[in-house]
Structure 1
Amino acid sequence: MPIVLSVVLIFTGCSSKEPSKYAATQKETSGRNAPAAVAKKAESGGDFNKYFPQGASGYSRVFSQEKKGFAEAKLNKDGKNVAVLSISDTISLPAAAKKYENSISKLNNYPLVDDAKLKSTSVLVNNRYQVKVASRDPSFTAEDRQMWLQKFNLGGLSTLK
């Protein structure tokens, strides 16, 4: 019996395995010299946290995501998520900053865009940092979004290079 087991192990251990059905796709889609998804010069997400507003008037702020070039917090009221607050560095995605070029609305001298379809309101600080408030509950209106944008420390954020 040990001889049979040894022979089986030798043949199964030394046999070549068929490549995974995904191997060709992996090889094809990797290494295309594509640019990095996040620019090396993007600000660290943790650097944005100090510019977020504190919870107030029954609202609580809970940070939910932080990565290079991006930070996000949920805004909750009565235990329910009513909005998402975020700051992103558009150096990694310049097209995100382009939508502000034709903006006629301003908030504290920063171009403002209100997207009714996405239920979000945002400003662009220093032609680079997008500060956004997005509704997650129908009770959180466009006026609420603008009010919460004003609570961000936009002046402090404008000092980042």
Structure 2
Amino acid sequence: MNFKRFPKLLIAFTLALSLFVSACTGTTSAPPQGNPSVSSPAQPVATQKPVSGGSFNQFFPKSEDEYKVVFAQEKTGFAEAKLNENGQNVAMLSINDVANNPSAATKYQSSSKTIDGFPAVSQGTTSTAILVANRYQVKVQSRSDSFDADDREEWIGKFDLQGLSKLK
């Protein structure tokens, strides 16, 4: 056996093996599909970090007349308030950031109804929701039979939807 060729064979074998292994890693140099900074209607960007729940409070409706808005819960990407009429809870108001849950926004893609220009859906007989800026779900849920779909739509319209649409 010719041992003088052994280092050259070893180098060639190592080079070939490294090329084979790197080809099998599955990385690609192709550019990503689509532009993540531009989303089509009702398709949120799924790679953004959810905003803090406290940052939503400024967009909730204000208390008025016999209606009082009482904040109930805040957590990352979510805030909720009770809507009380003369001390009785008649509805729950909420804002939910769906940035990391794009499937939550798919129900808005086929919506033919809008509220203040935003796609709207009814969820069962007690909830109405819209999707703002392809990212924020604003929902009103009835807690009283006297608080109907028209009331829910009216209270969705009392949120600062334009301000919310600018939140990043």
Return the TM-score normalized by structure 2.
0.70
Count, aligned residues: 122
The C-alpha deviation readout for 1:34-79, integer Å capped at 9, x for no partner, is: xxxxx87001000000000011131000000000000000000121
Distance in 1 of aligned mates of 2:166 and 2:144:
33
User: Could you tell me which residue of structure 2 aligns to residue 153 of structure 1?
Assistant: 160
The C-alpha deviation readout for 1:59-117, integer Å capped at 9, x for no partner, is: 00000000000000000012111000000000132111111000000111100111234
The list of structure 1 runs, each at least 4 consecutive aligned residues, that deviate by more than 3 angstroms after superposition, is none
Residue among 89, 102, 122 paired with 1:114 = 122
Q: Which runs of 5+ in 2 are unaligned?
A: 1-46
Q: Does structure 1 retain, via aligned residues, the 8 Å contact 2:48–2:99?
A: no
Which structure is higher in RCO with an 8 Å CA cutoff and minimum separation 6?
2
Return the TM-score normalized by structure 1.
0.73
TM-align CA RMSD: 1.3
Residue among 72, 92, 103 paired with 1:84 = 92
**C-alpha deviation, 1:127, in angstroms:** 0.5
Distance in 2 of aligned mates of 1:146 and 1:104:
15
